[in-house]
Structure 1
Amino acid sequence: MAMNKKLFLGYKLRRLREGKKLSQAALAVLLEVSPSYLNQIENNQRPLTVPVLLRIAKVLDVDLATLVEDEESRLVADLREALNDPVFGSGSIGLSELRNAASASPELAKRVLTLYQTFRQLDERMQSLTENLSSATGEERGGHAHFPYEEVRDFFYYCNNYFGPLDEAAEALVEEEGFRLGQMHNDLVAYLENRHGVRVRIVAEDDTAGMRTFEPGAGSLSLSALLSVPSRTFQLAHQVALLAYHERIEEVVAGAKLSSDDARSICRVGLANYFAGALVMPYMAFANQAKALRHDIEQLQSRFGASFEQVAHRLSTLQRPGARGVPFYFVRVDMAGNITKRHSATRFHFTRFGGACPLWNVHEAFAQPGKILVQLARMPDSISYICVARTVSKRGGSYLRPDRQFAVGLGCETAYASEVVYSAGLDLASEQAAVPIGVNCRICERDDCRQRAFPPIGSHISVDENNRSFVPYLFA
């Protein structure tokens, strides 16, 4: 095993040791090192060597990839974005200092982000109230309406969008019941009726309030006729999760330590959706097929009877310890550029506040509906990604209710290009071939971008009345 950089994982090692209720001296004996040497490692005064790293993985029963994974990088990116806000002053905090903070106390860093997020919600609420008072129209809208969703989204994000107990339970159920992959709709209908006394019926839109309506007293589950077969199958699997695996979902929700009942309810729905995806596309069967097909989304759709969005999302969850798949990011964007879903097992950083980079191909997808677009993109940290984007539609069902359009994005680092069919034809060796994208304009470091919507926070603008550049903003 080769390492290109020194590994300082002291704070992570300390958390793992304390989680196992081991003293520093006891762990030193197990690792066959001196207590003083282990103390230096835990205080980041000495880097980890490969032999010690391997012994740690074995003694503490932790996956090696998990141990060396730079899990603090996404936390550092979020902190950097938040702390660039002028409310914290004009000076910037160095990356090394942010890394130290995220590594030493990740929970404290997350609470700082929560505090900042709450501040932004209150600030937006105040601005909205001011606008309403000045215009004397409309009613005040609650500023915290979206906060529970963001809290749950962060919980999924920092769990790498993988929940082992639910994933393994879904896989086991498929084996026990003999559900047929790619033809699971009728199997789930029969399972709900035979095991839970729930009858499924397909109803016209006027007969139901939504896509899925469950009536416990009547033992009835109604699904909208507008749903495609993959969507109906997914909703059936969602209902299985709520009925048969309620306790396991509650255990995960309790461990999330969410701050409100609304957030806990949202989390339950999200976890039931996670279970549904894991049931329709069981982990090992799906991971093996994904690898064999080089992660061709359309072929995986056919094999598992799933939609484009369902397959893309499932690919981003293949992070089981000991059987990890290619780390993908997954995102869904609406036509206004709002990110409505985001998950990432990569170093790709999504914006938490504000819009996404206009050069990213998820925006271009709306101009070519239904076509798969592939982009070679490079982030400011010099990491290059293979970015796949395509539009998906949600049926409206009538002329006066047009279909809703979203763009789904999926991507991975170019280091995995040989395992991904979408790398075909890309000039991976050329730096010039990669489109330089960023997180979003407010924190992007690129000073030569012609698509920049506004200058980054904290920058000093240079204005020359005698010259006009192709670049919207010049910096002193």
Structure 2
Amino acid sequence: MREKLFIGPRLRLLRQARSWTLEVCAARLGLSPSYLSQLEANQRPVTARVLIDAMRVFEVDAAALDAADDQRLIADLREAAADPVSGEDAPGLGEIKQVVTNAPQFARAYLALHRAYRQLDERLKQTEEAVSLDERGAASALLPYEEVRDFFHYKDNYIHALDLAAEALAGELGLEEGAGVEAALERRLESLGVRIERSREFDLLRRYDPETRTLLLGAAQPAATRAFQMAYQIAAMTLSDVVEAELTAASFRSQSAAQVCRTGLLNYAAGALLLPYERFRETARRVRHDVEQLSLIFQTSLEQVFHRLSTLQRSGARGVPFYFVRLDRAGNITKRHSATRFHFARFGGACPMWNVHDAFSRPDAWLVQLAQMPDGVRYVCIAKGVVKPSGAYLQADRRYALGLGCEAQYADQLVYADGLDLAGPSAPIGVSCRICERVDCTQRAFPPVDRKFEVLENDRRWVPYSL
């Protein structure tokens, strides 16, 4: 049975953005004002015909009326509402869905308030720690990073104006698939008056001196890394007006967050320059999203390809919606981007049943998992371990796990899904233990914060309590 679609708040926002009265909008949609009023109040689901008419009248694609943002908002609000700080029982999933569906702006305001509380609480804890340890400079860079993550998260990890500008710049530079990319980038930097030098510092990626206009690149770094750093510098010097416009529109709460986002946007632009949207999307489709082939064709790193695949959400030319995540060995999520309904934990660790954790023990293998989230959506999850040599015996290599995935409905477009039994069982995974709904998971670290539990004094099992 197909799930009913309610798009009331989106219809209302689209109508109000055009300053149309209910009567004017209803006439354009071929509906009665009372029927449109019921649609906007989510008292009636939208039909296929009305949905198509709305796309035509408002001149938007289906994504503007899609409920993917609702799913993200539901997941984020559920996790925030389950925070034990409130001292009250968390609202049920049904109540949260009603709030998101009928009052999305209220839901976002609640999330902003909760985020502000968490930031204040974190600062207080850091202050106490700094005083107790007699240390200075305990200010954390984590909180601005979280604000920037939300910025990209709610934009589906796609920045339209910047992507278009980077694609046009790639055509201007004549960048071809893997053919003299580094040389073409060097020529453009020279035309900008930048001199390129190599450094033997083992941990250096890029250092730019604006006074001497010298770009220092780490000689020990792979060619793909050097190319990316040159692309970053070109973007910083030629696309800064587009980047600053995005920052102004974002209205970050702190200068630190704006600085973090500026770097993120320039990284985005560098990736879009090396992997131009249309050419990369078509090539990815042709090779069925084989990451290794794409890396060889475009002469980029695996991580750059993983990241770029998660950004292909241009209106009218969308690619497969992927999530991308990078974890360190401690389980910290150091990068996360998603154009899917896949939910990442905002606080606490990720689900131990997720195959991305296994990639550290098998860095030479590509791991593929058919997984199902508690909301019933199934995903093809791809994981790959990456070792980045330090270049020195006494310096530890950097190790990461990269994760990429999409909903199972796109499995036929993935080479990694060949041989998967899509009709068979799927691995049950969740967001994190603190909000996971599964009652039969043997890998639970602790009970969910929004559920009552009972300690089993005379019945010891793998999990020592029942929900």
- Aligned partner of 1:191 in structure 2 is 188
CA offsets 1:231-271 (integer angstroms, 9 cap, x no match): 11111111111110110111111111111111111111101
**1:416 to 2:410 alignment:** yes
2:96 is the counterpart of 1:102? no
> What is the total number of aligned residue pairs between the two structures?
466
Q: 1:199 to 1:192 in 2, by over 3 A?
A: same
2:328 counterpart of 1:321: no
Q: Could you tell me how far apart the structure 2 residues matched to 1:110 and 1:234 are? A: 35
Contact 2:9 2:104 in 1 (8 A): no
Q: Structure 1 CA distance, aligned partners of 2:344 and 2:42? A: 29
Whether contact under 8 Å (1:125, 1:143) holds in the other structure is yes
Distance in 2 between residues matched to 1:84 and 1:230, nearest whole Å: 43
Partner of 1:300: 294
State the match for 2:162 in structure 1. Answer: 166
Partner of 1:234: 228
Task: Please say if residues 206 and 229 of structure 2, whose CA atoms lie closer than 8 Å, have aligned partners that are also in contact.
Answer: yes
CA distance in 1, matches of 2:57, 2:211: 51
- Tell me which of 243, 257, 275 is aligned to 1:263: 257
Counterpart pick for 2:435 among 431, 443, 446: 443
Equivalent residues of 1:63, 1:321 under 8 A apart: yes
CA spacing shift, 1:90–1:141, aligned 2, 3 Å: farther
CA–CA distance in 1 between the matches of 2:125 and 2:114? 16
**1:123–1:140 CA distance, 2 compared to 1 (3 A):** farther
8 Å contact kept, 1:125–1:141: no
CA RMSD of aligned residues (A): 1.9
Matched with 1:460 is 452
Is the partner of 1:365 in helix, strand or coil?
A: helix
Residue 350 in 1 paired to residue 339 in 2? no
User: Partner of 1:87 in structure 2?
Assistant: 85
Structure 2 letter corresponding to 1:438: G
Shift of 1:101: 2.3
Percentage of pairs with the same residue: 50
Change (3 A) 1:155 1:385: same
Deviates more, 1:286-295 or 1:60-69: 60-69
Task: Measure the CA separation in 1 of the matches of 2:80 and 2:414.
Answer: 34
Determine the C-alpha separation between the residues in 2 that align with 1:205 and 1:332: 25
CA 1:397/1:107 → structure 2, altered by over 3 Å: closer, same or farther?
Answer: farther
Compute the displacement of 1:171 (Å).
1.2
Q: CA deviation at 1:100?
A: 3.0
Q: Name the SS of the counterpart of 1:205 in structure 2.
A: coil
Per-residue CA deviation, residues 419-472 of structure 1 (Å, 9 max, x unaligned), is: 1111122111112xx111111111111111111111111333322332211334
Which of 370, 394, 397 does residue 400 from structure 1 map onto?
394
Query: Which deviates the most, 455-464 or 280-289?
Result: 455-464
Matched, 1:254 2:248: yes
Shift of 1:301: 0.5
Counterpart selection for 1:13 from 7, 11, 14: 11
TM-score normalised by L of structure 2: 0.95
Q: Structure 1 residues 343-352 or 397-406, which shifts more?
A: 397-406
Q: 1:426 to 1:85 in 2, by over 3 A?
A: same
Does the CA contact (< 8 Å) of 2:196 and 2:216 recur in 1? yes
Counterpart of 1:48 in structure 2 is 46
Write out per-residue CA displacement over residues 50-92 of structure 1, whole angstroms, 9 at most, x where no aligned residue: 2221111011111124323432111110110111112223423
Distance 2:11 2:200 in 1: 56
How many angstroms apart in 2 are the aligned matches of 1:449 and 1:143? 37
Shift of 1:131: 5.3
1-structure distance, mates of 2:437, 2:3:
25
Question: Structure 2: which amino acid aligns with 1:435?
Answer: A
C-alpha change, 1:142 and 1:49, in structure 2 (3 Å) is: same
1:147 aligns with 2:139: no
2:304 is the alignment partner of 1:272: no
Instruction: Spell out, residue by residue over 1:273-327, the C-alpha distance to the aligned partner (whole angstroms, 9 max, x if none).
Output: 1111111111111111111111110001011111111101111001011111111
One-letter code of the match for 1:308? L
Give the TM-score normalised by the residue count of structure 1: 0.93
Alpha-carbon distance between aligned partners in 1 of 2:370 and 2:31, rounded to the nearest angstrom = 45
In 1, distance between residues paired with 2:96 and 2:13? Answer: 19
Q: Distance in 1 between matches of 2:322 and 2:264?
A: 19
Q: Does 1:68 align with 2:46?
A: no
Residues 10, 41 of structure 1: 8 Å contact kept: yes
Which of 324, 328, 338 is matched with 1:330 structurally?
Answer: 324
Give the direction of change, closer, same or farther, for the CA distance of 1:472–1:312 in structure 2 (3 Å limit).
farther
Q: Write the letter of the residue equivalent to 2:436.
A: C
Indicate conservation of the 8 Å contact 1:9/1:48, yes or no.
yes
Q: Distance in 2 between matches of 1:106 and 1:176?
A: 42
Aligned mates of 1:291, 1:261 — CA distance in 2: 40
Q: Distance in 2 between matches of 1:443 and 1:140?
A: 35
Deviations 1:199-256 (A, max 9, x none): 22221117xx831111222121111112211111111111111110110111111111
Decide whether the 8 Å contact of 1:122 with 1:143 is kept in 2: no
Q: Structure 2 regions of 5+ residues with no counterpart? A: none
Alignment pair present for 1:289 and 2:286? no
Contact 2:456 2:465 in 1 (8 A): no
Q: Is the 8 A contact 1:338 1:355 kept in 2?
A: yes
Aligned to 2:200: 204
Equivalent position amino acid for 1:96 in 2:
G
Q: Could you list the runs of 5+ residues in structure 1 that have no partner in the other structure?
A: none
Letter in 1 for 2:441: C
Asked if the contact 1:118/1:147 (under 8 Å) is kept, the reply is: no
